[in-house]
Every structure is written in structure tokens, then in C-alpha cells.
Amino acid sequence: MQGDTIVALSTPPGSSGIAVIRISGPDASGILESMTPGAMAWKQRTLYNRVLRDGDGEMLDDVVAAVFHGPNSYTGEDAVEISCHGSMQVVSAIIEESIRAGARLAEPGEFTRRAYLSGKMDLAQAEAVADLIASETRLQTRVALEHLEGGLSKKVNAIEERLRSKLALVEASIDFPEEDIETYTVADLAAVSDETRREISELLESEVAGGKLRRGIRITITGPRNAGKSSLYNALLGEERAIVSPIPGTTRDVLRERIHIGGFTYHLEDTAGLAETVCEIESEGMRKGREAACAADLVLFVVDAGEGWTGGALEELEAHAGRNRIVVVNKTDLVPGGGETADCSPAGEVRTVDVSAVTGEGLGRLREKIFEFTANGEVSSVSRERIALNIRQGMALRRAEEALERLGRELGMNSPAEILSLEIREALDACGEVTGRSAAEDILGEIFSNFCIGK
């Protein structure tokens, strides 16, 4: 249990029907008692409808509140939850009164940090809380919930348990060399090491998907001026976000918005059209657009079906050679016959989709292609297993994998038990980082500082 008592608003700031304020720590009930006498004697985990008052007896709000006695609370400590009216004035007044009574304002993620420190959840589960809060699609939510329920932790714990039992045998042979005790065999250890490595590498396969699922996938729309990039951008967003006009050079800045396809978040960027220009602002816009395209996971190169590859468009496309790209042939509504891709596409370009940003024709197919070229490889395993490692978990498990690789080599060379034990310990230590059994303080700081306040 932590020494002090913290308070924070757990719902988003602003006007709402109800706002939830949480207090956690040894003085939680005492602080509530100062606003509504009798609270110390409340039955825990039971809702009470009471009036809260400040030190001068002035009414703060009419609320519904409950007390929780540690360890039966989110944080594992004594805690209070107050549902008050969702006015920022009411919320501030209750928080100020709590602070006057001895609480301090919670830091970002401090409630979850306390839950972790008091053993209510492990580190992988605490990270899942942040993922769950950030989730925007059903797939993101499902994966976060699976991790929160301990899906990843269970797999890692099983690996650790197996390694620990083998470590015991190896170390017994070091400590009691003379005695007739059960010891390890090289063959058995090698088999366990191989199987564990296979399991770890299976988990590591979900790391790419995990990155895409959490960070999102970047798509940059580029191509000649007036090809209809901004129109396509708006059509994909489903709103008139970018200015569309027949005047070339309308878009200058890089615009960014999020869309969702197949459970993944895509950061979609509209950029300035590519052309010879003397305009300083437009050149700067083009430079930023090219920079965005360089960093993108996928480039949508838009051309006007009526214009085709005239005016340097082909050279511009060449600049994206080797990049993950789709050629989008736009304005097919204007081309008689519905737009012949073959006429418009440069030799050898297979990833071409015909669309009309104005009529919406072809957009469904474009969405499918976007998904196919950015997430298809990962989605099936994530949907099935609902496990997707984050960068930190991936780094830890790679360290475990490397230690087991070395262990395999040492076993091959018939190395002494002391060396084998070192490698098994290293693998165990690395696995322990995933669940936080062996996580350093700076890692905790990094993880919880990314949370919102009140969680």
C-alpha cells in the first residue's frame, strides 16, 4: 500500500450527465467522511445517495458514492468512488475539498500503477488498460480485453514455469554434485529449450500486428495537381475535410485524419499536388508531401483518368518505386466506358484501382486493397488469438529467445551446468519483464506516464 491518498476525475473533463471522481489510499474514507459525516461506517461496495458539503457547511453536490476496502478495489487500496453531476465547477469543488482534507492530485496512470504495485494486475494487464482506453475499433478492444484478462500473461507464465523447473534441476546438479538426485539430461533440456523458443517466436510473430494495431497505419495520398486527391481524401473520410477546387494548387499543408478499415486505424494524409511551380508556398507544400510519402506505410498515387500519365506524372510515380503503393485512377465517371485501367496504368503496375471520388464508384474496392496491402498478413492471427505484443513486450521476449538460442548452442557443446543456468536465468528474467516480475522502476515510469489522469 502507498503512503498517501490520491484523487482525480476519472471521466473526461467537460459537461456531462455524471462525472466520476476517484479517491484511493489510506485516508479515502476519512476524506469522504469530511464531506458527508457517517461515511466511515458505510458498508463497503454499496451505493449511498448523500449530499456532500465543504468545510463551511456549504453544499457541494448531491451524489451517489461508494467505499471500497482494500484489497477489494481497483487499486487494491481503500478507495472511494463519487458519481457527481457532470459540471466542471462541481468536480473542481469536490476535488479541492478532498485535497483540503488531505488527498493530493493523482498523476497520470497512478491508480493503475497502484493496482500493479499492490498485485491486482501485472504489467501486461496494466498496459492493456491503456490500450483498452485508447481502442477505437472492435478488434483493438478485443485484443486489449484478452490481454487484460491475462491471455498474454498466462502464456508467458507457462513458459516461465517450465523454464524454472528445468533451472531447479540444473542448479541442483551444481549445488549437490555428489548426491544421487534427479538431474537434467542434455536431450531433455534441448527439447524444452526448442519448444519454448518455438512458443516465444509464435508470440513474437504478433509484434508487427501489435505495432500496427496500436500506432495505426500511415497512408499518404499523392499525385499530380487536380487529380482529385483531396476529393478522394474526403470520400474516404466521409466528410468534406479538405478544400476541393478546380484551381490547381489548392492544397498546401499536409492534412491528417483517422479512418478505420478492418479493425485497424489508418492515419490518412492529403498532400499538395506535384507540379513544376514557382510558388514558394506550393513548393514547400510539395516538399512536406514528399516527406510524408517517404514515411508512409502505403502511398496512394492518384491520377486523373482523362489525363493519364501526362505532364511528368510517370516520373513522379517512379520516385515512389519500391514503396508500398497503389495507383488510384480517379474521375472514371468522366471517361467514356468507365475508365480503362490498362490505358492509364504504366507498364507493369499491377496495383491499380479505378475510382470516382465524386460518385463513390470503386471506393469499396480501394478500401479492400488498402487493407490487403497493409494489414492482411497480420489480421488473421490477431483475430484468432487476440494477442498482439507491444514494443516493450516484444523486446523482452526477443531477449528471452536469444538466451534460449545461446542455451541451445551451449547444450550442443556439452557446456557445464553453471553456463546453462546463466542462460536459463537470463531467459527467465526477460520473460519476467513482460509481466513486470522483473521490471525496473524507469520502465514503470515510462509505461504509466502515457496513461490519462484518473486511470
Ligand X SMILES: Nc1nc2c(ncn2[C@@H]2O[C@H](COP(=O)(O)OP(=O)(O)O)[C@@H](O)[C@H]2O)c(=O)[nH]1
User: What are the cell numbers at 439?
Assistant: 521490471
Alpha carbon distance 158, 195 (integer Å)? 12
Q: Does 244 bind ligand X (CB under 6 A)?
A: yes
Q: How many residues bind ligand X (CB under 6 A)?
A: 20
Q: Does 333 bind ligand X (CB under 6 A)?
A: yes
Closest to 60 in 3D by CA, of 95, 19, 90: 90
Q: Does 341 bind ligand X (CB under 6 A)?
A: no
- Residue whose Cβ sits closest to ligand X: 228
Of 2, 11, 16, 250, the residue at the interface with ligand X (CB under 6 A) is 250
Least spacing, CB of residue 258 vs Mg ion, in Å = 19
Q: With CB under 6 A as the contact rule, which of the stretches 70-78, 84-92, 99-107, 228-236 interacts with ligand X? A: 228-236
Q: With CB under 6 A as the contact rule, which of the stretches 57-65, 125-133, 148-156, 239-247 interacts with ligand X? A: 239-247
Q: Does 400 bind ligand X (CB under 6 A)?
A: no
Q: With CB under 6 A as the contact rule, which of the stretches 10-18, 32-40, 133-141, 244-252 interacts with ligand X? A: 244-252
Give yes or no for a contact between 183 and 430, defined as CB atoms under 8 angstroms apart: no
What is the x/- site pattern for ligand X, positions 36-65, by CB under 6 A?
------------------------------
- Select 63 or 244, whichever has its Cβ closest to ligand X: 244
Contact residues for Mg ion (CB under 5 A)?
229-230, 251
Closest to 15 in 3D by CA, of 125, 91, 107: 91
User: What are the cell numbers at 347?
Assistant: 507498364
- Select 309 or 451, whichever has its Cβ closest to ligand X: 309
- Select 140 or 330, whichever has its Cβ closest to Mg ion: 330
Least spacing, CB of residue 293 vs ligand X, in Å = 14
- Select 53 or 290, whichever has its Cβ closest to ligand X: 290
Least spacing, CB of residue 335 vs ligand X, in Å = 9
Least spacing, CB of residue 442 vs ligand X, in Å = 46
Of 168, 208, 237, 358, the residue at the interface with ligand X (CB under 6 A) is 358
> With b meaning 16 or more CB within 10 Å and e meaning fewer, what string describes 61-78?
bebebbbbebeebbbbbb
Q: With CB under 6 A as the contact rule, which of the stretches 92-100, 169-177, 219-227, 381-389 interacts with ligand X? A: 219-227
- Select 252 or 455, whichever has its Cβ closest to Mg ion: 252
Q: Does 271 bind ligand X (CB under 6 A)?
A: no
- Select 151 or 249, whichever has its Cβ closest to Mg ion: 249
Q: Does 196 bind ligand X (CB under 6 A)?
A: no
417-435 and 151-175 helices cross at what angle (nearest 10)? 160
When CB distances are held under 5 to 8 angstroms depending on the partner's kind, the choice from ligand X, Mg ion, none that residue 231 binds is ligand X
When CB distances are held under 5 to 8 angstroms depending on the partner's kind, the choice from ligand X, Mg ion, none that residue 324 binds is none
Give yes or no for a contact between 86 and 16, defined as CB atoms under 8 angstroms apart: yes
Q: Does 245 bind ligand X (CB under 6 A)?
A: yes
Of 29, 125, 220, 330, the residue at the interface with ligand X (CB under 6 A) is 330
Q: With CB under 6 A as the contact rule, which of the stretches 77-85, 210-218, 223-231, 395-403 interacts with ligand X? A: 223-231
Q: Does 382 bind ligand X (CB under 6 A)?
A: no
Strand partners, 104: 6
- Select 47 or 281, whichever has its Cβ closest to ligand X: 281
Of 216, 228, 339, 432, the residue at the interface with ligand X (CB under 6 A) is 228
Q: Does 265 bind ligand X (CB under 6 A)?
A: no
Q: Phi/psi zone of residue 367: left (φ > 0), alpha (ψ -120 to 50 degrees), beta?
A: alpha
* Chain positions contacting ligand X, by CB under 6 A: 225-231, 244-246, 250-251, 273, 330-331, 333-334, 356-358
